[in-house]
Amino acid sequence: MLSYRHSFHAGNHADIIKHASLCLIIDALKAKAKPFSYLDSHSGGGLYDLQDETAQKTGEYLEGIARLLPIAEQLPELAPYFDAIAAHNSSDALRFYPGSPELARQWLRDQDQLHLMELHNNEIDRLRANLGGDERVGIHHRDGFEGLPGILPLPVKRGVALVDPSYEIKSDYAKVVKSVKKASQRWNTGIFAIWYPMLASDRDQSPWLLDELSKLPVKNLLVAELSVAPQAQDFGMHGSGMAIINAPYQLDDKLKTLLPKLSAALDPDQRGDWSLEWLIQPS
């Protein structure tokens, strides 16, 4: 099934926790001069027009990035994130939102590399149009579940892989575990940042996913979650989380400071919650 289009959801609360976590991880990698690689298993189009009919139909960005931008000065740890957004918006008006590949492209240095995977025929064309002109970027028209372990190992030992499929199909959860298991065996020094949705109780597979990831033979596993509403019974995504394997030093402290700020901005009525825990403690 290739019906999913991220343009409906660009800039929503799920993108916020995903991209904020990625910003902190890449900032940690850049603390050393040595090069690193960024891998994206489900890249999408890379850049989204929030005035497009798909984004306007849902308006999810209005309760996401549109709520965060006014308090950008209160979030200095996310300055690279806001700078990347500003680079695509020529005025104070918010129109374009960069996806994870474009954010990473702006954050990475000349010595670093990006490896982007996308299977959808239309999205791969958009990805090539948006990011294909950068010589640091390799774009692969392939299934990210297969492509993530398939592209490994890389000559560069340091880096981060973002894994964020749509999870429209229930089998995606098992595919994530299988893909990450293989990839982490081939790249045991790599950081794996796995996004997942928190759905209504009748459909929520996140507890199963986390349980399976916690069984992997990895150095550590940090889980950050942010919800903006109570869990419903039969429909809806009330929040999402990031399961981070081989989390960099002090990422937990940074997220512990950041998550309450994000929660207050995105959930002013405090209907949801945030959490942070180690499922596998660092050794």
| Enzyme catalytic residues | 164
Tell me which DSSP letter residue 229 carries: S
269 annotated to a ligand binding site: no
Judged by DSSP in three states, 209 sits in helix
236 annotated to a ligand binding site: no
Buried b (16+ CB within 10 A) or exposed e, 222-260: bbbbbbbbeeeeeeebbbbbbbbbbbbeebbebbeebbe
100 annotated to a ligand binding site: yes
Cα gap 173→210, rounded to integer Å: 10
- Helix 13-29 × helix 79-86 angle, to 10°: 110
Nearest to 193, CA basis, from 59, 20, 44, 57? 20
SS3 content of the chain, % helix, strand, coil (to 5): 40, 20, 40
118 annotated to a ligand binding site: yes
Token pair for residue 68? 């965060």
135 annotated to a ligand binding site: no
19 annotated to a ligand binding site: yes
Token pair for residue 127? 């990805």
144 annotated to a ligand binding site: yes
Q: What's phi and psi for 249, nearest 5 deg?
A: -55, 130
Nearest to 106, CA basis, from 78, 125, 134? 134
Judged by DSSP in three states, 17 sits in helix
User: Residues annotated as binding site?
Assistant: 19, 42, 100, 118, 143-144, 164
User: Which residues sit in the known binding site for S-adenosyl-L-methionine?
Assistant: 19, 42, 100, 118, 143-144, 164
